[in-house]
Structure 1
Amino acid sequence: MSTLNARLSLMMFLEFFIWGGWFVTLGTFLGATLGASGSEIGMAFATQSWGAILAPFVIGLIADRYFNAERILAILHLVGAVLLYQLYRAEDFAAFYPYVLGYMIVYMPTLALVNAVAFRQMRDPALEFSRIRVWGTVGWIVAGLVISFLFGWDSQAAIAEGALRNTFLMCAIASALLGLYSFSLPRTPPLAQRESGGLKTLLGLDALELLKDRSFAIFFLASVLICIPLAFYYQNANPFLAEIGVENPTGMMTLGQVSEVLFMLALPLFIRRFGIKKTLLLGMLAWAIRYALFAYGNGGELLFMLIVGIALHGICYDFFFVSGQIYTDAKAGETFKGSAQGLITLATYGVGMLIGFWVAGRVTDHFATATGHDWQGIWLFPAVFALGVLVAFLLAFKNPREVKLPAEAKLT
């Protein structure tokens, strides 16, 4: 690995270490330490969606036109460190929520900024980017292992003592380090001319033209709907494992990221062999299977069902969302490549997840009991919902006009 790629890899590692270091255990912390309801927990997770919705304004109107990407990245992470420290100090949900909302508005644009910094330094992005981006997944994995196996903050006793509060302090330190480190990254000045393009182009709204294509429109709607079951995983998986007494739940959940890396490598081969439609269908089916496993598994003799459900993350995420990005890129062509990716991100992590976290919060409250939750009822809801999206997708493409990649599309 070259020195430059090593520097970019460290940037990716810290970027996702920060996110994975507090987001995975957020639901458990809010419920056990701050006494938040399911709806309040849903509100906290939905700040990710508000950040995703507002991110195009930061990237399109500021980073792409006026300032170097690495400098904005540095400033946002330094501000983020202050906000994470305030989350560490918060004593109730009312004090917590404004800071987590502010933090996600600051953090979500950095996901695009680290990509911008990385891509601008590469001679062959198709070959080099995956080797650098994978260190972000490693960072997420390491964060979970540190929480579970180094500090033990997610054990039953530690949760009862409020130890998960320390995740915010850990991530505040990491955010400050990345902020300072970002000033040393290669210069990445804006490419766009200040006078070029209008607001519609900057926000990716010109890609709405793609919705005139029936197959893309159906895929677009399915992408929004499948984010509803996705929100259940982010919001409830860690509290579920902790509540039923599974040891080291955060560390166990890193199996999902390991799976993500493995299936990411297999994805191009699968698409070539079976096509994009079957790949998308398998991704949707995996969501339904995963939640059925969660509904009927337990922390005892059926623990293997929970482990399999977690390990399905690679198929759930890669085979639908990553293959969906490939499909979107191919359908967009050269005209709408950037704006089309922005549009699908806005639809999924923005609108889709916003609806999903709201639904997940309401369902979780509905199945709350005096001693915890009826987890079987909670998990069966997204299982049936994902299956419904799958059936609707199949029916929509019952005619010969199937969703498929253009013949000239390349898979790297």
Structure 2
Amino acid sequence: MSIKSRLIAMNFLQFFVWGSWLITIGAYWFQNRHWSGAQFGAIFSTMGIASLFMPSLMGMVADKWINAEKLYGLLHLGGAAVLFATPLIDNPTTFFWVMLLNMMCYMPTISLSIAVAYSALKAEGRDVVIDYPPIRVWGTIGFIAALWVVSLLHLETTTGQFYVASGASLLLGAYAFTLPPCRPKLGQLRGRSMLDTLGLTSFKLFRDRKMAIFFLFAMLLGAALQLTNAYGDTFLHDFATVDSYKGTMAVRYPAIIMSISQVSETLFILAIPFFLKRFGIKTVMLISMLAWTLRFGLFAYGNPGPQLWMIVLSCIVYGMAFDFFNISGSLFVEGQSDPAIRASAQGLFMLMTNGIGAVLGSSLSGLIIDAWFIRADGSKDWHGIWITFALYALAVAVLFSLLFKHRHDRNAVIHPHGARDTATGAIAD
């Protein structure tokens, strides 16, 4: 089996695990357990809390002591065990700690999977900017497949979604040990600094003003991503209380409607090499930010009836908003960091987006909604919520255009081995 096929299988299962429950846990929480919204906000924040330290910590371990693919497999095996036990929990506080443990296993595997894929592609002399996106697109297909499995089996509000995720995680954990070796490099270097010893080498990227600003805005966009993950499916489920929308496709199968977002991802991932080469990272990131604005704005005026097209269009726009930020961002970080800290650098990117950004997005959005967008009858003012989120994304875009200084050279040669593998230094972006 070719290396591309092996990495495709890894990416498919990686996001199948996540897609089995990420979008539908809200429906399970409110319609099965009937626990409070504040408690749900805490549950959803476990992703961000785990990302504050686990990706960087596991990236350090992979850079210094253990093959990244083996650590990746061990984390998925641990996650499979936790997910299998999750349905047994009947207390929201205990559920929080169990989900936090699950996220501590899962979140570092995202950046580790990237490090493993980049290492394997570079070992064959391939260009990661060209060859990685068509591989990564299969992760999105895996996410879509999981959403359809859970929805068509009517597991959206049941514990079945966690068993599906557990089985996939177990399979991936075992498969990971067959992947090409991604050996530690930092431990092979002589004259290591104190930052090397403490595993904080990737934080030196903050010394570069451009990279510091990039990571700051990655954090702000990470907050936007959590808004749609936390509230998108719940938003559609709330229409079930409106008589005129009962029985509509969007209310009966909200997860399938939301999966249009992932279908869109598969198309925009393939467009990333063209956009990065032609326009550069600044323009691509700006496109992502404006797409987030449009994503939230369309949700504000959409409904499962006459304005269903707005919800569908919002899901299509999501593909550009997500890919042009997450995938392009990881490629940019890869190109700006030393190969010896490749896993740590990806972990730092995860820390800023799915860690600090996720915690801020989950916690602050919950406070804002509770303070200004809960009606007297307890229902949510979804129009006001989505408009507020859209204005936030627009403000981020304006600030990024003013503060992030980067000159793009479309004629620069992109070396397949990335930054500092040759004397030319950082790759073009």
Q: TM-score, normalised by structure 2?
A: 0.82
2:355 match: 350
Measure the CA separation in 1 of the matches of 2:327 and 2:406.
15
Q: CA deviation at 1:6?
A: 3.2
Matched, 1:240 2:242: no
Matched, 1:178 2:178: no
1:110 match: 109
1:130 to 123, 129, 133: 133
Amino acid across the alignment from 1:284: M
CA 1:356/1:184 → structure 2, altered by over 3 Å: closer, same or farther? same
2:10 match: 11
Does structure 2 retain, via aligned residues, the 8 Å contact 1:38–1:362?
no
User: Which consecutive unaligned segments of at least 5 residues does structure 2 have?
Assistant: 241-249, 415-427
2:381 to 349, 374, 382: 374
CA 1:329/1:406 → structure 2, altered by over 3 Å: closer, same or farther? farther
Does structure 2 retain, via aligned residues, the 8 Å contact 1:42–1:360?
no
Matched, 1:258 2:259: no
Greater alpha carbon shift after TM alignment, 114-123 vs 301-310: 114-123
Matched, 1:394 2:388: no
Measure the CA separation in 1 of the matches of 2:206 and 2:56.
22
CA 1:189/1:237 → structure 2, altered by over 3 Å: closer, same or farther? same
1:364 match: 369
2:187 to 193, 196, 200: 193
Tell me the matched-pair count.
398
1:221 match: 216
Within-5 A mapping of 1:162-173:
163=158, 165-173=159-167
Greater alpha carbon shift after TM alignment, 210-219 vs 302-311: 210-219
Does structure 2 retain, via aligned residues, the 8 Å contact 1:9–1:132?
yes
Does structure 2 retain, via aligned residues, the 8 Å contact 1:85–1:172?
yes
Amino acid across the alignment from 1:317: F
Greater alpha carbon shift after TM alignment, 351-360 vs 301-310: 351-360
2:145 to 142, 153, 174: 142
Within-5 A mapping of 1:188-337:
188-193=182-187, 197=192, 200-201=195-196, 205-245=200-240, 246=250, 247-332=252-337
Amino acid across the alignment from 1:174: A
Q: CA deviation at 1:132?
A: 3.1
Does structure 2 retain, via aligned residues, the 8 Å contact 1:21–1:171?
yes
Greater alpha carbon shift after TM alignment, 57-66 vs 203-212: 203-212
User: Which consecutive unaligned segments of at least 5 residues does structure 1 have?
Assistant: none
Amino acid across the alignment from 1:124: G
Greater alpha carbon shift after TM alignment, 37-46 vs 197-206: 197-206
Measure the CA separation in 2 of the matches of 1:219 and 1:46.
23
Amino acid across the alignment from 2:305: G
Amino acid across the alignment from 1:258: V
Greater alpha carbon shift after TM alignment, 286-295 vs 34-43: 34-43
Greater alpha carbon shift after TM alignment, 70-79 vs 18-27: 70-79
Measure the CA separation in 1 of the matches of 2:89 and 2:12.
27
SS in 1 for 2:52: helix
Does structure 2 retain, via aligned residues, the 8 Å contact 1:38–1:364?
no
SS in 2 for 1:36: coil
SS in 2 for 1:193: helix
Spell out, residue by residue over 1:322-357, the C-alpha distance to the aligned partner (whole angstroms, 9 max, x if none).
333344444557787665443332211211111111
Q: CA deviation at 1:264?
A: 1.7
Measure the CA separation in 1 of the matches of 2:345 and 2:73.
27
SS in 1 for 2:234: helix
Does structure 1 retain, via aligned residues, the 8 Å contact 2:55–2:350?
no
Does structure 2 retain, via aligned residues, the 8 Å contact 1:57–1:203?
no
Does structure 2 retain, via aligned residues, the 8 Å contact 1:137–1:261?
yes
Does structure 2 retain, via aligned residues, the 8 Å contact 1:66–1:194?
no
Measure the CA separation in 2 of the matches of 1:348 and 1:256.
19
Q: CA deviation at 1:383?
A: 0.9
- Over aligned residue pairs, what C-alpha RMSD do you find? 2.9
Q: What is the aligned-residue identity percentage? A: 36
SS in 2 for 1:67: coil
Q: TM-score, normalised by structure 1?
A: 0.86
Amino acid across the alignment from 1:82: A
Does structure 2 retain, via aligned residues, the 8 Å contact 1:259–1:312?
yes
